[in-house]
Amino acid sequence: MTDLDTDKNKNAGSSGWALILGGSHGLGLATAKKLASAGYGLLVLHRDRKADLPAIEKEFASIRSEGGKCHTFNADALNKEKREEILSRFTEIMGDEGRIKVVVHSIAKGNLKPMTGEGPLLDHQDLILTLEAMAISLYDWIRLLLDKEMLAQDCRVIAFTSEGNSRAIPNYAAVSSAKAALEALCRNMAAELAPQGVRVNCIQAGVTDTRSLRMIPGSEELLKTARSRNPSGRLTLPEDVANAVYLLTLDEAKWITGTTIKVDGGESLR
């Protein structure tokens, strides 16, 4: 694990602390920038190759250059042994009284193998690994943070889902299954954690041109179809989704929990 932040200031931003699981690209990075601009101190986990780190560090540096407190960790959020080490670092950064007010789940680690045809096909282990990364890991982290009493009162938990939660998309079976499981977990977490002040919601983003989407076979066709379907005349941007995350962190949104909110410019209407 590498802490890329050199700022030793342990005080949160004016709005408190936000933990972003998967914050180096796409929706996660856009959300990090938005929450930093709203006054949150950031704890960002990401898992990236060494060759990609210079470009990623430049993005984080831009957040710090604008006054944001941004502590970043290039570590595997799915590694159970590393989680304890990471939580200890959180305590060092936030101080004993520090609490996390916002948790954003943006882990995009899924298998994109087909179920039929030529080449390697989707198998049992592919499904398990995708479900663990893109669904179960959210509950694992929230459970740990609750056990360690690291969540603030009125904590907001936000996870990213997609239209694949209910649509069959070629090569997307594992991710589609994970998104459906993620939404089911969020509904149940919202119900069972409400007495502890934890609000849990999903955001269903429209098709967004991100690195993760580009990994899907046939992504160009997906982008083309999304543009033609969207009555707003364009694709969803990461910033559109980040803005919706921010809205869900406001005091005025404290009675919203257990739901999936579409942020797609009307794309899913057609």
pLDDT value, residue 4: 40
Q: Where are the domains of the chain?
A: 16-269
Judged on CB neighbours under 10 Å (0-12, 13-18, 19+), 269 is exposed
Q: Write the CA distances from 38 to 65, 168, 217, integer angstroms.
A: 15, 37, 36
The tally of CA atoms less than 13 A away on the side-chain side of residue 131 is 12
pLDDT value, residue 11: 58
Handedness of CA 40, 28, 205, 242 (dihedral sign): positive
Residue found under tokens 């996870």 = 159
Which class does domain 16-269 fall in?
alpha beta
pLDDT tens-digit map of 184-229? 999 999 999 999 999 999 999 999 999 999 988 888 998 999 999 9
pLDDT tens-digit map of 29-60? 999 999 999 999 999 999 999 999 999 999 99
pLDDT tens-digit map of 1-25? 444 443 434 457 788 999 999 999 9
Predicted TM-score (pTM) of this structure: 0.93
Q: Look at residues 183, 206, 67 and name the one whose alpha carbon lies nearest to residue 135.
A: 183
Strands 16-21 and 40-46 turn out to be: parallel
